[in-house]
């Protein structure tokens, strides 16, 4: 089962607390990358056929293809802080930061045990990231972004020692190939882009371009393009008093009706409600006579 992930901020990062059920639920995957830390209780974390016992302080990595689920102990339920984020966003920052998530599940140790110094560092960063996104004080998005980047650098340094130089070089080259496609999406998302445009800048066929995007980022061309447009729409909703119609077309959508439908499906609320929740002053301006 593949879950659809939406983001509550104008950068594609979520942080939340979660207590799994004490019965085994179906395994799932999602297009986001995920890092979780057990903060209390006990239980198990499943990754395909692998099963890890869970203790407070254990940190878990989940890539964008791996089937997984957590389960609480019946008498001492586990509780986690989870952060999930769009791999496309991280790839734009520095492609090597994605390498810790570019693993084959059967050969990868998903758990960083609580007693390791790294787990303690990661747990502190996850708690800070969750606090920033929950309380939304001035500059919270910059603080959240900074915490996530620091977290990913620590992971990169940790896993770099466990991968051969040849494999590391191969992964780096694979990510670097996507740079032109991501640059095109970022620059031209307001225009009527097609998959063949991405294929052209990559120098491959459209079917090969589609395969590369899904293989490396876990998302198809249409999903990536929609995410870019949604990010821009959210940014404009929060930072300006422009009308919904103006924001719709400025973000690359072709009609107001489709914009409303896609925005609500993606964000869970209508554009005006999103603006009101994120910036009450802008909501008043939008609705003035």
What CATH number is attached to the domain comprising 239? 1.10.10.60
Same domain, 58 and 170: no
Same domain, 100 and 22: yes
Range of the domain at 254: 229-286
Same domain, 130 and 120: yes
Structure confidence by residue, pLDDT tens digits, 108-124: 889 999 999 999 999 99
Instruction: Look at the chain and report how many structural domains it folds into.
Output: 3
The pLDDT of residue 288 is above 70: no
Structure confidence by residue, pLDDT tens digits, 160-189: 776 666 666 666 676 677 778 888 988 899
Structure confidence by residue, pLDDT tens digits, 11-65: 889 999 999 999 989 898 887 899 999 999 999 999 988 999 999 999 999 987 7
Same domain, 57 and 85: yes
Query: Is the pTM here over 0.95, yes or no?
Result: no
Same domain, 12 and 150: yes
Residue that finishes a domain, picked among 222, 246, 261: 222
Same domain, 113 and 240: no
Same domain, 122 and 218: no
Same domain, 109 and 46: yes
Same domain, 32 and 112: yes
pLDDT, the chain, mean: 86
Same domain, 179 and 86: no
Taken as a whole, the chain contains a residue count of 289
Residue 127: other Cβ atoms inside 10 A: 15
């Amino acid at each position: 089962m593949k879950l659809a992930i939406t983001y509550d901020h104008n950068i594609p990062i979520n942080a939340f607390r979660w207590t799994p059920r004490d019965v085994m639920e179906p395994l799932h995957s999602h297009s986001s990358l995920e890092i979780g830390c057990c903060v209390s209780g006990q239980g198990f974390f499943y990754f395909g056929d692998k099963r890890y016992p869970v203790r407070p302080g254990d940190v878990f990595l989940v890539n964008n293809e791996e089937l997984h689920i957590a389960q609480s102990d019946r008498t001492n339920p586990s509780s986690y802080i989870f952060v999930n984020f769009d791999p496309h966003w991280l790839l734009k920052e520095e492609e090597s930061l994605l390498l810790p998530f570019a693993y084959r599940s059967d050969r990868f140790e998903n758990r960083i045990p609580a007693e390791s110094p790294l787990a303690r560092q990661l747990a502190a960063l996850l708690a800070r990231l969750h606090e920033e996104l929950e309380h939304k004080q001035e500059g919270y998005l910059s603080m959240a972004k900074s915490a996530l980047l620091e977290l990913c650098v620590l992971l990169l340094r940790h896993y770099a020692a466990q991968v051969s130089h040849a494999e590391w070089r191969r992964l780096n080259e694979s990510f670097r190939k996507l740079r032109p496609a991501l640059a095109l999406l970022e620059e031209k998302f307001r225009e009527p882009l097609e998959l063949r445009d991405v294929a052209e800048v990559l120098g491959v066929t459209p079917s090969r371009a589609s395969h590369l995007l899904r293989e490396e980022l876990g998302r198809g061309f249409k999903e990536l393009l929609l995410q870019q447009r949604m990010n821009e729409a959210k940014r404009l909703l929060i930072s300006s008093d422009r009308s919904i119609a103006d924001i719709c077309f400025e973000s690359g959508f072709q009609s107001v009706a489709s914009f409303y439908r896609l925005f609500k499906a993606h964000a869970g609320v209508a554009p005006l409600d999103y603006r009101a929740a994120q910036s009450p002053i802008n909501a008043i301006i939008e609705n003035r006579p």
